[in-house]
Amino acid sequence: MTMPLPDLTSLLAGLGLFMLVASVAGYVLQLWFSPEGDNPVIENLNARIRSWWAMIILMALALLAGRVGTTLLFAFASFAALREFVTLLDTRRGDHWAVAVAFFIVLPLQYWFIATNWYGLYSILIPVYAFLIIPMIAVLRGDTERFLGRVAGIQWALMICVYCIAHVPALLNLEIPGYAGRNVMLIAFLIIVVQGSDVAQYIWGKLLGKRKIAPSVSPSKTVEGFVGGALSAVVIGAALSWITPFGPVRAGLMAFVIVIAGFLGGLVMSAIKRDRGVKDWGHTIPGHGGFLDRLDSVIFSAPIFFHLTRYWWSLT
């Protein structure tokens, strides 16, 4: 696969400049309002900025490495996310075989099929075969206590942490006329739009947020924050149309669709955390929580973005 180095390096340089401005702003805010490190808001902001630097550098290296690097990065992200999800499930000894199959057979196979562009299998491996095989394996252990809930938890852990996330590197497999060798930019578009919307929703929510959307699920999400974030995402998407095959209007519409999916997906993930009685999925990423806390919006938007692009623009 030929990498679009001029476009990609320009985009990464822009992100680097943005992060440099954010780092300087965070440093100035700390000097003014938290010289002793006693302002939790400022300290959390700077922790997030440092984590964003690490994530952007890691993502940049993976994208520059091409198909192999990108696939391995998201395979690792799926493994880490699956571990976070399974840790919160009410599993029993009778589930150990099923969990082992999920980690060490289903997950590697999903990414192998994506790496080899076997669409017929990576599109149905988990929602068909894994959904059938997981309860078959679990029932062999003979533990029927809370069987349905335990098996469903493992099945949906695979759907959320492996199947959905795997649709990000699957974008590399699409054959789009006039776009050969540039598919990596689709991944950049998806990540920047979704994460940019998350940041914009946070900022608009802090500035104008009053009416809560789902206070029992996520008290910090407001109508004003969501609308501001969605509109900001449309602007970001349209502005990034030069890295896509869509054109400005369609890029803006695509951004709007995936942001809606990402927002609702984020609420779903928040509801699961509330059900499990935790604030964050993990503590791997300072200022952000776990992998699932950072990927929750991408998880639900990635499959929709992939299939919309495949249906309307791809030859495959």
pLDDT tens figures, 264-309: 999 999 999 999 998 888 777 665 578 898 888 899 999 999 999 9
* Cα 42 from Cα 49, distance rounded (Å): 11
Do 134 and 154 touch, CB atoms closer than 8 A? Answer: yes
Q: What's the chain's average pLDDT?
A: 89
What confidence tens digit (pLDDT) does each residue in 34-45 have?
888 778 877 777
Closest Cα to residue 52, out of 74, 27, 23?
23
Q: 280, 227 in Cβ contact below 8 A?
A: no
- 218 or 82, higher pLDDT: 82
Question: Where does the chain have alpha helices with state H?
Answer: 5-33, 40-65, 67-87, 96-101, 107-115, 119-122, 131-139, 147-158, 165-170, 184-208, 223-239, 248-276, 291-312
Is 223 strand, coil or helix? helix
Q: Which of 84, 75, 150 is nearest to 113 (CA)?
A: 75
Tell whether pTM > 0.85. yes
Spell out the residues 6+ positions from residue 293 whose beta carbon is closer than 8 angstroms to its own: 280, 281, 282, 285
- Secondary structure class of 285 (helix, strand, coil): strand
Predicted local distance difference test score (pLDDT) of residue 4 = 46
- Of 11-25, 43-57, 257-271, give the lowest mean pLDDT range: 43-57
For 111-158, write each residue's pLDDT tens digit: 999 999 999 999 999 999 999 999 999 999 999 999 999 999 999 999
Q: Which residue has the tokens 């099923």?
A: 98
pLDDT for residue 103 is more than 80: yes
Query: Taking the domains of the chain in order of start, what are their residue ranges?
Result: 1-65, 70-173, 175-316
Helix axes 40-65, 184-208, angle to 10 degrees: 170
What size, in residues, is the chain?
316
Q: Is the pLDDT of residue 238 over 90?
A: yes
At residue 23 the predicted structure's pLDDT band, cuts being 50, 70 and 90, is confident
